[in-house]
Amino acid sequence: MRRLLLLIGSAAILVLSGCASTSPEWSSSSADTRRDPRAAKAPRVDLSKQSVSNLMAPSNDLWVQIRQGFQLPELDSPLVEKQTQWLVNRPDYVNRSMARSSRYLFYIVEEVNRRNMPTEIALLPFVESAFNPEAKSTAKAMGIWQFMPRTGQDFKLTQNVFRDERRDVLQSTNAALDYLQRLYKQFGDWQLALAAYNWGEGNVARAIKRNQALRKPTDYESLTMPRETREYVPKLMAYKNIVQNPGAYNIVLPELENHPYFVAIDVTRDIDVDVAAQLAEMSLEDFRNLNPAFNKPVILAAADQQMLLPFARAELFQMNLASYTKPLSSWTALKVTKSETPEQLATRLALNPETIR
C-alpha cells in the first residue's frame, strides 16, 4: 500500500510510490544552478565523467594554515583569560567540538582565505554552535552559523518544508561570510563587525553614536553592550588561544589534513536520503551530519540541490550507483492547488480519499 506524506499549508505532497526512476544517470554538469557561484567552491564531481580519486590535494596540516592566517589584534581583556580557562576546564566539550569541526573546517578556511579575511573567522562556529549543524537556539537561530529566520531570508537562504539552507554548510557559510564582510565594511573594525553579527548592526551603530555624543571612544571594549556580546569576541579569542598553542593548555587538537573532507554532487535524480547514505556506505547519522538541510526523506532533483559526501565515500557512491538496479526514490513530489479537494486529489492519484484525509 502506498503512503502519503501531506505537507499541511504548503503546495506540495510526497507520495510513496513503487514507480520511481531506476536510471543510474547522475551528472553534476547537467543541472542548472541558481546559487551564487561563490557558494559552490567545494570540489564538484561529474560522476558520469570523472573519478573522485582524480581530485588531488595537499596533505599538510590545516591547523598550520589557520594559524598562519590569524590577523585579529589581541584583546586586552580579562574576559579572554576567563573564557580560555572555561574551555580548558571542559576538555570533553572541546574535544567534541573539535571532532565535529573536522568535517567543515577545510571548506570554511578555503572560503575565508579566498576572501582575504582573518582566519579567526573560520573559528566562529565554535562560538556560535560548537560546530553542531543541527544547533537551534531558543530564538530560532539555526545551523553552525546560527542564522535567524529573517537574516537567513535577507541572505537568500531557502527555508521551506523541504530544505532549510541555514543548516546547509555551503550556503550558510557563504551567507555568513558575506554578512561579516558587509559588517566590516560598515564599521571598519573586525571586533565591531563580530559584535554586530551577534547583537545586530543597528544596536552597534546606536552604541557608537551614544559614545560619540559623550565624546567617548567607540572601540569594542568602550561600548556599552549586553553581557552576551561583551563576551562574544573574548570567546572567539579563547578558541584562537587554544588553536595557536594547544600544548600550553594540555589540549590535543585532532589531526586535520589540508585537503577537502567532502565533495559536492549535484542531485539530478530524485533520491531517498536513506538510499543515498546506503550507496555511500554511510550511516544515516553521518550522512545527515554533512547534509542537515534536508527536511524530508527524499532529495528532489527539481529543487536544484546538492549533497555532500566525504572525500573517501564519494568514490564508493560512484561505484555502487553504477550497479544499483532498484529505484533511487520511493517518493514522488506533487504540486497541489489550495482549492484542490481530497476527492479531486484522490482521483488524480488513484487513491482512496480516506488515505489522503
Please tell me the predicted confidence (pLDDT) of residue 12.
46
Q: Regarding predicted confidence, which is higher, 157 or 2?
A: 157
pLDDT above 70 for 3 = no
Q: How sure is the predictor about 333, in pLDDT bands with cuts at 50, 70 and 90?
A: low
Range with the poorest average pLDDT among 183-187, 248-252, 255-259: 255-259
The pLDDT tens digits of the residues spanning 282-318 come to 999 999 999 999 999 999 987 778 999 998 899 999 9
Please tell me the predicted confidence (pLDDT) of residue 341.
80
Query: Taking Cα atoms as reference points, which of 103, 54, 12, 43 lies closest to residue 306?
Result: 43
Evaluate whether 172 touches 124 at the Cβ level (below 8 Å): no
In this structure, what C-alpha cell is assigned to residue 65?
594554515
Please tell me the predicted confidence (pLDDT) of residue 303.
72
Stated length of the chain? 357
The verdict on whether 128 is a catalytic residue reads yes
pLDDT above 60 for 1 = no
Range with the poorest average pLDDT among 152-161, 256-265, 271-280: 256-265
Domains and CATH numbers, the chain: 19-57+262-329 (no CATH), 62-249 (1.10.530.10)
Hey, how many other C-beta atoms are within 10 angstroms of the C-beta on 61? 14
Q: Which of 110, 128, 165, 231 is catalytic?
A: 128
Got the DSSP string for 85-124?
HHHHT-HHHHHHHHHHHTTTHHHHHHHHHHTT--GGGGGH
pLDDT above 50 for 329 = yes
